[in-house]
Structure 1
Amino acid sequence: MLQDRVQAVRTEFAVASFTSMVPTLEMALAFHQAVLDAHGAVSATVARLREQTQGGDYAYCVDIASFMADPLPADHAALQ
């Protein structure tokens, strides 16, 4: 199951002190969950990602994951 593999990779990152890779892993998981339209799972992943990036490093990952979970409407004006 994917959740088991993701947890294993999280553990491997922690053991190897690759903590900076965890937000990227969480973003990939959020993308997968968004494609599956698993709103509850995406919300949990975004919350976990928000907690992991409280210090400001990789905080943009929260925005990206949130956007993947709930994109802007098609008629939304782009920033200029």
Structure 2
Amino acid sequence: TESYLKYADAIPLNRPMMLWFISQVITSQADAKDPRIDLVHANLQGLPPVTLINAEIDPLRDDGAQLEQALRSAGVSVERRL
């Protein structure tokens, strides 16, 4: 995403840290498609209200916006703070 590229060198969360986190969880393409990992494409219907918080300089800022939209599309009440 744009924020992932723009804030690749941000502190405290940056691209090398994200790659490390991902390598701890995802070991195959199947893992990457697991709905517990790929929340944007998971069945989110029926979840309780959700609050998402992203920092402006967050590499995951745009991922937060995508998740917000997916939750809203599933009929989930969402409050997102940036």
TM-score normalised per structure 2: 0.35
**Whose helix proportion is higher, 1 or 2?**
1
TM-score normalised per structure 1: 0.35
Structure of greater relative contact order (alpha carbons < 8 Å, 6+ residues apart):
2
**Whose strand proportion is higher, 1 or 2?**
2
